[in-house]
Homo-oligomer: A and B are copies of this chain.
Amino acid sequence: MGNLHEECGVFGIYNRTPETMDTAKTVYYALYALQHRGQEACGIAVNDNNLITLVKDLGLVHEVFDEKTLSAMKGSIAIGHVRYSTTGGNNRRNIQPLGVDYVKGSLVIAHNGNVSNAAALRAELEAQGAVFQCTSDTEVIAFLIAKERLAAPSVEEAVARVVPRLEGSFSLLIMSPRKLIALRDPKGMRPLCMGRIGESVVFASESCALDSIGAEFVRDVQPGELIVAEPEGVRCLTAGVNHDPASCAMCIFEHIYFARPDSVIDGQSVYQARIEAGRLLARTHPVQADLVIGVPDSGLVAALGFAKESGIPYGEGLIKNRYIGRTFIQPTQDSRESSVMIKLAPLRRSVEGKRVVMIDDSIVRGTTMRQIVALLRRAGAAEVHVRISAPEFLWPCYYGTDIDERSQLASVQHSPQELCRILGADSLGFLPVDQVETIAPDSRLHFCKACFSGQYPYPVPEVADKTAFE
């Protein structure tokens, strides 16, 4: 229901036929397909024989880029980024791609993920006299590459030498004067895949971006793998590849919520994973009911799965208003119209007199869910059974998911029984944490479930000294 955010989506292209396929526009269309991964800011950098044009700003892809801007962005290598920015207002510092000059020229980086030991690495660099202009871990990565490059024989070698120093998640696209480098962290925490379009190679956070531009899916980038696209061709540096799937920690929440259902990650269809999540819910939390509905949009597929498994008919029960924009004025607390009433409308004819199973993908604070349950009751639902296609959120994420303060998480504060009562529901069920991996049997990688289980793939970072900047 929109209270969880991941910080990025990335896309890159090494375009061997810029005369017939516009480089910047290809990135533009691909970013549209990744927009669900970040709606606060976006950017594209294009390399035209080592002259780099970098345009980035707050806003959606269609707000930041217009025909004139894109037309002026010529070149054959490009990377793009969409971002959910955790800081508000006018802050543009952390928008990506990040472009820097260093001893060998230029370096442009687009990063999906979060380096959990960034604060420690940053303190170390500051102790050597470094200055930082962003608050992001990406700038730390750029610094480390620049330092390694002093000794390393190539930029990809410098990148490879930095990898062991980083903890956490990082799917990276790096553009040097002549090369496009793709890198996925050794545990494969965030997705990254490779495609082909004509003679050209592309990389994307999700396969849906390949489909949207008519590119062919080639394969996922392997955990720890580094791929270099350069004038001579494409080279895969597999020295760092982690061949042990069990030591991988791909974020299971990509399947539950973040990724687009038409994407396939590490062999696993996201759509199928959601269907399976619904099926698993139906098996582990069965209920006698007349109708299964999903909270649009993210609960719809799991609702289909629940309906299939349970045999209870699937239907629509809530209509989502598609016109609520960024500048929507929130109703005041004491006004009759609640925000939820304006955003979601119950389908009285569909739910009236029915025992309804309602599926959503998560409960963060629980406030919205309580209002939705009330909406359905007012529309005549005889019973409302809430089913969540994820386990309970109990632990913070250090790898790129922006979960609320732990103290505000409903499941930290309340047992499912208490929470059910607070929501006003007739019953409440979560996915069992010990079976959650079974929703994605096709995945070649094992999963990170830290936000549910508290078992982290890397040491938990000590609290970071935050920047003084707003």
Contact = CB atoms under 8 A, between A and B. Distances in A.
A19 interface: no
Given A33-B321, A102-B132, A314-B304, A262 B348 contact: yes
A337 B24 CA distance: 13
A465 B32 CA distance: 36
A127 B103 contact: yes
A153 interface: no
Q: Is the interface of A mostly helix, strand, loop or mixed?
A: mixed
A226 interface: no
A23 to B, nearest CB: 12
B469 A323 contact: no
Interface stretch (A66-74, A244-252, A358-366, A445-453): A66-74
A297 B272 contact: no
A315 to B, nearest CB: 6
B131 A102 contact: yes
A131 B150 contact: no
Interface in A250-294: 260-262, 264, 269, 271-272
B314 A314 contact: yes
Contacts of A188: none
Nearest to A328: B62
A329 B349 CA distance: 39
A309 to B, nearest CB: 12
A333 interface: no
B106 A467 contact: yes
A407 interface: no
Contacts of A70: 329
Given A90-B69, A323-B36, A349-B269, A316 B469 contact: no
Which 4 pairs, one residue from A and one from B, show the smallest C-beta to C-beta distance? A129-B147, A269-B349, A100-B131, A214-B336
7 contacts: A32-B324, A66-B329, A106-B468, A212-B342, A261-B347, A262-B345, A271-B347
